[in-house]
A and B are shown apart, each in its own frame.
Chain A
Amino acid sequence: MTAILEVTDVTKRFGGVVAVSGASLSVPEGAVVAVIGPNGAGKTSLFNVVSGFETPDGGTVTFRGSQVHRLQPWQIARLGLVRSFQTPVGFPALSVWENLMVAGSAREAEPVLAALSGRWRDREADADRRANELLEQLNLHDARDLRLADLTPGDIKLVDFARQLMMQPRMMLLDEPASGVDPASIGRLSGLIADVRAQGITVLVIDHNIGFVLGIADHVHVMALGEVIADGKPADVIQDPAVVEIYLGKRA
């Protein structure tokens, strides 16, 4: 399999703190890859670099064959690399349906001139259909016209996931999707990620929940102190003495 995302020697410093230090990883197209590691290991900083929210101090990020580490977040998103955030607040004052439509509407429908001429109307039908299908699938159809802020945290997380899917991404970056999700719903989340993968969407996921990660990932990278210290099949990685010491060992 060819790599859809290639991170090479990425370094990111914040003042004197080195958040990411020469990290490299490669994500094959269509795979589910996880990055695990203790707090402060640089996982989210790495995500921020990959998604364009931070510019790396060194190294390169290549997505689908083109270098993206100098691009703006919106440019990277338009290439089909869509990320989530640890705190999935989304757009609280917008309805659930509007939250999805923001992601799904056609770019040509958005400028102020399109609003004035009304030319956006015939461009909405496709996104509207996809939004309703997604809400149906996620069992959120009754919440369609509620404000996002009025949903439960678990449902807000689902809307977050649906919003990313509305972008019809090639690859999703999920930042701790299982945090704050009750154990009973973890299985459901795993199922959603399996569905996404079945559609051919590549997934790179950060999470603390080892059980969850082992259940969904083909490949695991372990980060500590800004570096990727180990990688391999999930079952092999958790046997690695270095990983046990740095990550799992600390929890015992």
Chain B
Amino acid sequence: MIGVFFFFVGVLTLAGIYAILAMILNLEAGWAGMWDLGIAGLLAVGGYTFIIVTQTQSDDVVFAPGLPMWMGIILGSLAGGVAALIIGVPSLRVRGEYFLITTLAFAEVIRQLAVNLNSITRGTVGFNQFDRPFEALAEGRGYRVLLLVLVWVVAGIVYILMRRLVHAPYGRVLRAFRDNDPVALSLGKHTNRHRIQTFVLAGLLYGAAAPLYLWFLRIATPSIFSSEVTFVAWTALVIGGIASKSGPIVGSIILLLVTESVALLQGSAEFAVVLASTRFIVLGLVLILVMRFRPAGLVTEQQSLAAASNRVQVRSS
């Protein structure tokens, strides 16, 4: 029974992390119309920067400054932003499909770098011993609950941030050029500057969120930054409702609960392998069902933002 409780603590922690990723993805894809397939790449840039500058395992690596955790988070965030700027400037000038391909390729390049830059990243072995925040407050299983709370506090902050962005003129401009770029241009909107600004912001946020992912998994290896991360975040967003405010959270919780609960059907060791692959079947099934019966997702943009104009008006007049 206790085991089941802690199992769900873990699932909900992971759901919180995916809710954060899906909310950031929603900013770039749902509102700004930039279909980013390189989430795992930006997360890896942030995560590796964090772990490299903060880690204290100095054996077989050439660079281990051992900076404090808060500096690691800031540097990880900045690295995510800089990476977004470098890939965003050339790929956002051209049509949307190029952005999609560039980001997908970028994520793979970053993963290969992580595998091959042995003397900095420890290659496929990666890092598996690192400090986590507030470890003095709770031990063992208790820390899992603490991490759950920490992750959801961050998710709440990201939600408030996103709400602030989408209801501002900034968010309105994003949704406008997502729907019709030429008309936005004809209204004097420098749409490309908005796109780059938004993608860099997304990079900063992915970078800042990456340590949570590492603290949860307690490892930092190239394999945890595979494209699976990107596709789970995308699926959560689509199920929950792209371009709505709460959709990414709803989608992440449902998706992770459904797919991870498969693991509760424990059986023999051979069965475990079958179960592991079942997760993707379940994921696909959930996606198909939602697309069939609620193509705009469980929470729609209209539900989430239609009443927004009234609220803004009251404040401004």
Contact = CB atoms under 8 A, between A and B. Distances in A.
Interface of A: 51, 53, 72-75, 77-78, 82-85, 89-95, 97-99, 101-103, 105-107, 109-112, 114-116, 118, 120-122, 124-125, 128-129, 144-145, 147, 163, 167
Interface in B160-212: 161, 164-165, 168-173, 175-176, 179-180, 182-191, 194, 197-198, 201
B187 A103 contact: yes
Contact of B180 (A53, A77, A90, A97): A90
Contacts of B317: 125, 128-129
Nearest to A160: B183
A89 B180 contact: yes
B201 A112 contact: yes
Contacts, number: 130
B306 A77 contact: no
B309 interface: yes
A115 B175 contact: no
Contacts of A111: 170, 197
B179 A112 contact: no
20 contacts: A72-B185, A74-B188, A77-B187, A82-B187, A84-B186, A91-B179, A91-B180, A98-B175, A98-B176, A102-B173, A112-B165, A114-B170, A115-B170, A115-B171, A120-B169, A122-B316, A124-B169, A125-B316, A125-B317, A163-B187
Interface residue SS majority, chain B: helix
How many of chain B's residues touch chain A, expressed as a range? 35 or more
Contact of B309 (A78, A90, A97, A163): A97
A124 B316 CA distance: 6
Given A110-B170, A115-B168, A128-B317, A144 B309 contact: yes
A106 B170 CA distance: 11
A97 B316 CA distance: 14
Contact of A115 (B165, B182, B187, B306): B165
B302 interface: yes
Report, nearest first, the 3 A-B pairs whose CB atoms are least far apart. Answer: A115-B168, A77-B188, A115-B170
Contacts of A120: 168-170
B154 to A, nearest CB: 17
B288 interface: no
